[in-house]
Every structure is written in C-alpha cells, then in structure tokens.
Amino acid sequence: MSARDTGKRPGASGKPWGGRFQQATDPTVERFSASVAFDRALARYDIRGSIAHARMLAHSGLIEAADRDAIVSGLEAIGADIDAGRFAFSDRLEDIHMNVESALRERIGEAAGRLHTGRSRNDQVATDLALYLRDAAEAAVQGLIQLRGVVLERAREHVGTVLPGYTHLQRAQPVRLAHHWLAFFEMWTRDADRFRDLRARLSRAPLGSGALAGSTLPLDRAHTADALGFEGPSRNSMDAVASRDVALEFLSAAAICMVHLSRLSEELVIWSSSEFGFVELADAYSTGSSLMPQKKNPDVPELVRGKSGRAIGNLVSLLTVQKGLPLTYNRDLQEDKEPIFDSARTLGDSLEVTAGALATLRVDVERMREAAGDPMLLATDLAEALVRQDVPFREAHEVVGKLVAHCVEGGLDLGALSRDELRRFHPAFPAGAGELLALERALEERALVGGTARARVEEAIAEAQERLDREQEESA
C-alpha cells in the first residue's frame, strides 16, 4: 500500500507530515500516488487492527486507559460512518490509513496521535491485507459450496441422461450427463481446498513488525495477534512487511477457479448453440440482440469466460511487480491491492451467476441421447470385445480402424453389421455389432471406480453430498 516510512505523509494541507520535508507534495504526485480510491476496501480491517493495537498499547502500559477508550470509541464511530456511507474520503489524505487517522484526530484530538505508537504503515497494511485475504478466501469457499450444491443437484436429476463425451471437441464415447457434471464438482472441490489451504499461511500477525526491524518499545505482539484471530505474531519482521506470497497464492487460486468456471462456460456457450442444442439458458441468464430479434445470446457464460482473463492477468501483474523487489518494503507494493480486490470481486460474482445459470438451464435430454446414439462412439468397445477373445489390443485397434473406414466409405451403420460381416475383418468377433454396441450395455460395463456406470455415478453423488454436508457443518 502507501507505506513508506520516510515521514513524507501528506496531511490535509498537502504539507508532508514530520519534520524532514519542507515542501508540499506536488499535486501530480498526490494524484499519482493516492490509493484511497481502491484501498478503502480495507477500511473495516484497518479499524479492527487499530482497535487491537490501541488495546495492546494500553495493556503494555504505553498509553493511558482513557486514551485507549477515546481511540477505540472514535474508531468504532468512524467504522459505523463508513459502513453507513457517511464517511467523506479525501484523496488528499492518500490512503485509507491516513483518512481514518485524520478523522480520528478531528474527533478525539491529541489522543489520536498516540495510536501510531510502535506501528508503521508497513506492518499496518500487511495486517489489513492478511485480514482481508482471510475473509476473501472464506467467501470463495462459501461461493464454491453453493455452486457445487447446484451442480450436484443437477447431476442427481440427470443420472439417466446420456450424451457424447468429447475429446478434441469430437464425439468420443457416451457418458452420463451426471458423470460429466460431477467432473466440475471435483474441480471446484480442489478449488475450495486451495482457498482453505492458504489460510494456513495467514496464521501469523504482521502487526508489531514496524517498518522492517520491529520496535524498541515493549509491544505485546501476542496480544494483538490473539485479538485479531491469528495463531501468533510473524516470526520475521522483514518478511512480514515485504512478502506478498499469500496474496499471490490467493490470486493463483482465484485464477485456477476462474479457468474452471470458464471451461464450463465454454461448454454452455457451445451446448446452447443451434448446432448442438443440448441446453437452453433461462431468459434471466441470457440477452437478446440489438438488431436480430430471433437471437438469444449466452452472455452470462461468455462474460465469465472473458473475465477469467482478468483473473489470470491479475496474477501475472502481481508476480511481475514482486519479481525484482529488494527487501523490505517498496512503494511498488501499493500495486498489490487492485489485482487482489478485482479478482476477489470477479470470482465472487462469477460463482454466483454461474450457480444461477446452471440451476435454471433446460436440458434437451432427447437431443443429447440422439447425439450419443452414434455407434461410432462405441468403436473402442468393439476392440475390447476382441481383447476379451485374447486378441492383442494393438491388433484389435487396427482391425476396428479398418472396420470404421469400411463403414465411412460405404455409408454403412457400424452398429448394424452382423457377426459374419465383422468376421470378415477378424474371426474372433463373438457376436454382431448390434449386441456388442448396445448403448446401455456400454455405459454399464464402465463400472470401474470413477467410471460412468449408473452404480458408480450414484456412489459418486452420495460421496459428493457427504463431502459437501461435512464442509457446510465445518463452516457453520
């Protein structure tokens, strides 16, 4: 953020704070360096951290109880004004910290000057950011719980619905729609785990690290850490104020999750086209054309797909900012806030609208089944029928490849070939294609763990529900 412990902190007049500087900050520099337009998102965390710090100062005998009480009540009142939209933020005060501190001084007078005892804006902002990231990660987890609940319910509805699975966007093998959607449940489960995991790296409180070397004052860092819900104080003051790897971890988890959302969005865009016709998005999650009255455009999944690029860009942006920074704090780190806030907001919105679109879309079961009914999708089953007759797979693969070419060239239905016709290509075929390529049989024979057989899919749904229920209980 805007933490430079050079003492150059502009007050309301534009004159730098402290005795080192004699000239007012140039107005262009004020505009260029101001961060309050976006770092006001940290307001509640800044006030929480300041209240904990004030109480610790009194606990340590560094300020009087009366000053502590005045500071705490003043900060609480400022927080209430911010929540109610009554607080007047000033760009002249550079950042959220100085806005709060200036307002506190106006409210309670000289006692406000004691709040910054033993504290730098470096450890202040690092603490604010850690608190913000904790909440942002939890919000992502909750959004993923909601979305996974939706996809699980849709999977439960469509255990019997069959569609082609694709590789290279070419029809490959038939699968149950429930199985397909459970693939996204698994991806989003790992996404939720990533957000939970990063909380372990947010267990140490930076407050008390000062500008970089700690403080000569008898601060009780454990006191503030406990008050703010941390396991303890950070172990190294330089690391505490200079590092943003947990922010990178959050941006990485957000980018990966957005990519998963984008992949589903891509399928919804394709599936809702007239060429596929597998699904129709609800009107509430579609838009029309300004020119063509017949159009129903899948704007919601298209926007999610597009916004994934922002999340990826935010991660790359902060990686680039950090790659050349020496220890400890450098003003470049002010550039960490906007990517973090943007990714958190973009992810939250994307999770919400994706859940809504998925919950309300209509599935054309017959269109899917018709597409899955092409016997060519079961060519692998023919090869495996030969394998069961002790034919080496490579030989079986070549035989079936010739069969497929024969059908394509002759305009023949692979599923209609008799046993005798199959045996012209290999004598080991045990039956005609009509028996070997039955769709339901093909699905049910894929009964390995993780397969698309009904029993396996129903087991997967039950296990997924247990996992989701457990997560909801733990989050309550």
- Here the tokens at position 177 are 């729609």
6 falls in which pLDDT band (50, 70, 90)? very low
Q: Percent of the chain scored above 90 by pLDDT?
A: 88
CATH code (residue 400): 1.10.40.30
1 located within any domain: no
Residue 469 has pLDDT above 50, yes or no: yes
Q: Sign of torsion, CA 102 108 113 115? A: negative
pLDDT of residue 9: 43
Rounded to an integer, what distance in angstroms lies between the CA atom of residue 265 and that of residue 256?
A: 14
The whole-number average pLDDT for the span 266-281 is 97
Across the range 341-370, mean pLDDT stands at 98
- Whether residue 311 is predicted with pLDDT greater than 50 in this model: the reply is yes
- Indicate if 244 and 256 belong to the same structural domain: yes
Evaluate whether residue 430 is within a structural domain: yes
Q: Which of 51-60, 84-93, 270-279, 333-342 has the lowest mean pLDDT?
A: 84-93
Residue where one domain finishes, among candidates 117, 133, 168: 117
Computed over every residue of the chain, the mean pLDDT equals: 93
**What is the extent of the structural domain holding 393?**
372-475
pLDDT at 17: 53
Q: Is the pLDDT of residue 270 over 60?
A: yes
What's residue 8's pLDDT? 40
What is the pLDDT averaged over residues 263-289?
94
Q: Is 11 a residue whose pLDDT tops 90?
A: no
- Together in a domain, 343 and 254: yes
Residues 387 and 346 in one domain: no
Q: Can you give the pLDDT at residue 269? A: 97
CATH number at residue 216: 1.20.200.10
Residue 42 lies in a domain: yes
- On whether residue 341 sits in a domain, the answer given is yes
Q: Are residues 367 and 380 in the same domain?
A: no
pLDDT attached to residue 18: 58
Taking each helix axis from N to C end, the angle separating 65-84 and 43-59, rounded to the nearest 10 degrees, works out to: 170
Residue 2 resides in a domain = no
Domain co-membership, 309 together with 168: yes
User: Are 360 and 388 found together in one domain?
Assistant: no
Residues 439 and 292 in one domain: no
Domain assignment present for 4: no
Residue 298 belongs to some domain of the structure: yes
Which of 336, 371, 406 is the last residue in one of the domains?
371
* 421 and 400 in a common domain: yes
Single pTM value for the model: 0.91
pLDDT of residue 7: 38
Identify the weakest region by mean pLDDT among 31-40, 103-112, 433-442: 31-40
Are both 248 and 382 inside the same structural domain?
Answer: no
CATH code, domain with 71:
1.10.275.10
In a domain? residue 3: no
Residues with catalytic roles = 168, 289
72 lies in the same domain as 192? no
Tell whether 392 and 457 lie within a shared domain. yes
The gap between the terminal CA atoms of the chain, to the nearest Å, is 33
For residue 359, pLDDT over 50 is answered with yes
- 317 & 445 share domain: no
Task: Give the residue from 251, 16, 212, 232 showing the smallest Cα distance to 132.
Answer: 251
Number of domains present in the structure of the chain: 3
For the stretch 139-189, pLDDT in tens is 999 999 999 999 999 999 999 999 999 999 999 999 999 999 999 999 999
| Closest of 318, 296, 300, 288 to residue 261, by C-alpha | 300
Pairing state between β 204-205 and 232-233: parallel
pLDDT band at 92 (very low <50, low <70, confident <90, very high): confident
More confident residue, 13 or 183: 183
Distance CA 114, CA 104 (A): 11
Distances (CA, A) of 34 to 21, 92, 96, 331, 384: 18, 8, 10, 12, 67
Whether 321 contacts 336, CB under 8 Å = yes
User: Which residue, 474, 475, 476, 467, is CA-closest to 149?
Assistant: 467
pLDDT range class, residue 19, cuts 50, 70, 90: low
Question: Which residue, of 117, 147, 165, is where some domain finishes?
Answer: 117
- Among 182-191, 224-233, 371-380, name the one with the lowest average pLDDT: 371-380
Pairing of β 16-17 and β 362-363: unpaired
Structure tokens at 16: 């730098």
320 cis-preceded (ω within 30 degrees of 0): no
